[in-house]
Amino acid sequence: MGKVAVLGSLHMDVMVYAPDRPRKGETLRGSAWGLRYGGKGGNQAVQAAVHGAEVSMISRVGADDFGEKLLANLRASGVNTDAVLLDPTAGSGMSVAIVDETGDYGAVIVSGVNMQMDTTDIERAQPIIEGADVLVLQYEVPLITVAQAAQAAAQAGTKVILNAAPAYPPPDNLLPYVSILVVNEVEGEMLSGIPIADRQSAFRVAEHLAEQVPGVILTLGSEGAIITDSSGTTHLPAFSVQVVDTHGAGDAFVGALAAQLSAGVGLSAAVRYASAAAALKCAKVDVTPERMQALLAQQVT
């Protein structure tokens, strides 16, 4: 079992289900709503634990009901919360996501105490970062804090996975410390300046980004993923499942990837495993070793 540290956001997600996402000024009648534990950081930490890693979360929650629930969920999922600060200066992070009848979604986040994170969070978590095999980062907390965490991890010899989401340009002092960059099509286009219209242009995006970091994973949804590292550029097809809801699939991918890499699995095999984990998330079925093995046995082309 490898050790994974995740520095990132914790949000309580309010999920709303409707036929479609409303246009500006439009009101739609929804069919259901519910609460989910979220934030890209929290999601990825839980998913890394689901897939067998020893996980520690580095974040903040507010002194409110959402904060209590977020901490309880992490602990129930087997995630260490010693480096999650209870911050009374603002509310816990939250989001509202509207899921349409195809399973696609759009969301709005209110970051709260997540945007209060700073150097003190990294100092508090320094032993955790130094003791981890992998540090996972995203962009839902201040980018200067993300960059500082990447530097601290790189100096300690900890592998850094950056999921560059939401799509923001990275600070200049971040990418030199990143081992593996994970982006989707929107993020890949933004970072590279190259539009993705087909498989060939997607390859160009991945190869362009690989000029800045040792490893790049460009996820393409139902079209699979492209991997670029020192051994070259390859395409891995997606697994076939009945899609119910794509919400959280990207975080399932990153969490499973981190768990595999922390255990010493090679990049290509780790991406294939992570793709299977994301597929199960889209199908909205629980992850079990049997389901993972069944998907991984598929001969996808």
Q: Which residues are identified as catalytic? A: 251
Six token digits for residue 22: 């409303």
Closest by CA position to 231, among listed 188, 266, 262, 200: 266
By residue count, the chain amounts to: 301
Round to whole Å and give the CA distance between 136 and 259: 10
3-state secondary structure of 27: coil
AA letter at 122: I
Closest by CA position to 68, among listed 49, 56, 81: 81
Q: Taking a C-beta distance cutoff of 8 angstroms, is the pair 159, 261 a contact?
A: yes
Six token digits for residue 94: 């939250």
Q: Taking a C-beta distance cutoff of 8 angstroms, is the pair 70, 37 a contact?
A: yes
